[in-house]
Amino acid sequence: MAKKILILPGDGIGPEIVAEARKVLDLVNEQFNLGLEMQEALVGGAAIDATGIPLPAETLEAAQAADAILLGAVGGPQWDTNPDFQIRPEKGLLGIRANLGLFGNLRPAILYPQLAHASTLKPEVVSGLDILIVRELTGGIYFGQPRGYRTKEGGVREGFNTYVYDENEIRRIGRVAFEAARARNKKLCSVDKANVLEVTVLWREVMNELSAEYPDVELSHMYVDNAAMQLVRAPKQFDVIVTGNMFGDILSDAAAMLTGSIGMLPSASLDANNKGMYEPCHGSAPDIAGQGIANPLATILSAAMMLRYSLGEGAAADKIEAAVSQVLDQGLRTGDIMSEGMQRVGTAEMGDAVVAALRA
Ligand code: NAD
Ligand code: IPM
Ligand code: MN
């Protein structure tokens, strides 16, 4: 049966990098006879400009009907000053995550050996790096109520958000992380701020309770400030990290840099049945948008994750990942992963090289 893929290019470099992932998907669709049907829709700033809102009903319906979704990125300075917080590009992305119940965000930080010198860290610190950040994606301070921005009596402005998780939300992301650790090196580090925040006291309790069901997985706990430091000091001590929405957002950008560039980090956002949305961890990079120089590999690798997790097409995913490795072997580099002696290429050339490697 045909599988429906919804493609959401979004803003900034989004359309540029998604176009390259699309070339790759179209080719493996043909090579592996996958029966993928691709459809595009508007989200984020592009949707605001066309319809007035970041997540048009039509896009949400298409997302609900799709077997999987591939997203570029949303956001940009031209939409950052809208006083109505609902009319922000980022709300489109958050709306899809929330409406589809995509609570399980997997962000694998893997260093391709060819890029050991592209990282700003010493090669010996990062070589062989393979960690997985499991980030809770539909709760925590991103969604907690009450929230708001208001002017108090006397004209003093205040903004407020609520950091809240109930035990069920913690347990379901905990299970995702324990299962992932079980399938890997059986080490799980739960990151919290249980020395200060009650919500993460509960987080730690629930992780400890779950650990009884996973005796084969070694559970440890770390405060988020220390975790940020340890990720840069000695990242290979980690196997799987599990944490809440905001800490996971921040730590995954830090982890991205261990792999050479944020342009290398893909992600999967999954519901309880492995339906998902796939996107690079980076944003719309307004500073380089329209120049044809963005790295499309995180998006191409996100397409590979989509094939593996939501479509059960592991062989096609493996082939894409091998093709990415081959183009790195050939010495091709976008600016963000450039190092001495390598050949600088643009977004489309990089995509074309992956396609050529897939055809070879
Ligand atoms: P960003 O990730 O867009 O950019 C940070 C830096 O990394 C920039 O210097 C950028 O040029 C560089 N970079 C990012 N992706 C790259 C790539 N593929 N190749 C080469 N370089 C790359 O973060 P930001 O500047 O903080 O945010 C810009 C906009 O993106 C904001 O509106 C933000 O809300 C949005 N954003 C969206 C998502 C998403 O859609 N998932 C994620 C993060 C940020
Ligand atoms: C990400 C982004 C988003 C987040 C923003 C754009 C809403 O930074 O996917 O990492 O904070 O989750
Ligand atoms: Mn982020």
Note the pLDDT tens digit of each residue in 254-296.
999 999 999 999 999 999 999 999 999 999 999 999 999 999 9
Q: Which ligand is nearest to the CA of 284?
A: 1
Average pLDDT across the chain, whole number: 97
Q: Which ligand is nearest to the CA of 107?
A: 2
Confidence band of 86 (pLDDT split at 50, 70, 90)? confident
State whether the beta carbon of 253 lies less than 6 angstroms from ligand 2.
Answer: no
Closest-lying ligand 1 atom to the alpha carbon of residue 297: 18
Q: How does DSSP classify residue 285?
A: -
| Domain boundary assignment for the chain | 1-108+273-360, 130-258
State whether the beta carbon of 253 lies less than 6 angstroms from ligand 1.
Answer: no
| pLDDT of amino acid 83 | 82
| pLDDT of amino acid 95 | 98
Check if 1-108+273-360 and 130-258 are the same fold. Answer: yes
Q: Which residues surround ligand 3, an ion (CB under 5 A)?
A: 249
Closest-lying ligand 2 atom to the alpha carbon of residue 246: 11
| pLDDT of amino acid 182 | 98
Q: What is the C-alpha separation between 301 and 306, in angstroms, rounded?
A: 9
State whether the beta carbon of 93 lies less than 6 angstroms from ligand 2.
Answer: yes
Does the annotation flag 333 for ligand binding? no
Q: Which residues contact 279 (CB under 8 A, 6 or more apart)?
A: 70, 71, 72, 73, 266, 267, 269, 299, 302
Does the annotation flag 344 for ligand binding? no
| Topology at the third CATH level for domain 130-258 | Isopropylmalate Dehydrogenase (3.40.718)
Q: What is the C-alpha separation between 336 and 333, in angstroms, rounded?
A: 8
State whether the beta carbon of 136 lies less than 6 angstroms from ligand 2.
Answer: no
Name the one residue in this structure whose structure tokens are 């080719």.
27
Note the pLDDT tens digit of each residue in 195-213.
999 999 999 999 999 999 9
Query: What tokens does 342 get?
Result: 């390598």
Q: Which ligand is nearest to the CA of 347?
A: 1
Query: What tokens does 190 get?
Result: 């739960």
Q: How far is the CA of 285 from the centre of ligand 1 (A)?
A: 4
| pLDDT of amino acid 125 | 95
The fraction of the chain above a pLDDT of 90, given in percent, is 97
Which residue, judged by its Cα, is nearest atom 7 of ligand 2? 90
Instruction: Answer yes or no: is pLDDT of 1 > 80.
Output: no
Does the annotation flag 171 for ligand binding? no
Instruction: Answer yes or no: is pLDDT of 85 > 90.
Output: no
1-108+273-360: CATH architecture: 3-Layer(aba) Sandwich (3.40)
CB atoms within 10 A of CB 236: 15
Q: How far is the CA of 208 from the centre of ligand 1 (A)?
A: 35
State whether the beta carbon of 295 lies less than 6 angstroms from ligand 1.
Answer: yes
State whether the beta carbon of 11 lies less than 6 angstroms from ligand 2.
Answer: no
| pLDDT of amino acid 274 | 92
Closest-lying ligand 1 atom to the alpha carbon of residue 14: 40
- The mean per-residue pLDDT over the stretch 37-58 comes to 98
Q: Is 175 exposed, middle or buried (0-12, 13-18, 19+ CB in 10 A)?
A: middle
Q: How far is the CA of 251 from the centre of ligand 3 (A)?
A: 9
Q: Does ipTM exceed 0.95?
A: yes
